[in-house]
Structure 1
């Protein structure tokens, strides 16, 4: 069982990585600064630095977590589910999330 502190740290790491990707998608490389990422995640830049050494690290963390989640989706799918059906579900969910971020950025 994980402690409350460990869960809070994991939540902060996730919020930072999601904020980073949302800013990268909606505002480009120039808009995805450490300060903007921290602000969007609701933390200070010092907190960002406690979790990630460089801005690139937060993006790599997001990618690693996504790939791990996709692998889990494949592993947990019923054995009779066609691989393309699993892939379709994974990509549809990812595409929908990106579209939602872009839609939010328009306002």
Structure 2
């Protein structure tokens, strides 16, 4: 498994956000076309960030056993909604993030 942390600034949120990805070893995924790979999105709780899943769960073991690509975004205390101030966290999760990962 490979663990990546990507710091990026989505246009929908307009601030730097960390994004954590777990990717299976290349040998496990070679025969699975890119668009057919299973992807699991894990969302953190109010007081955590995307790294909580690696620290407090067995997600690496589960991902390895099921050949999952795991996406763990960090969105602070946004409640995953589009905010009135213009930071659109729901739009980020539903539209921009999947497009960014393709």
Normalization by structure 2: what TM-score?
Answer: 0.30
Instruction: Give the number of the structure whose residues are more often strand, by fraction.
Output: 2
Instruction: Give the number of the structure whose residues are more often helix, by fraction.
Output: 1
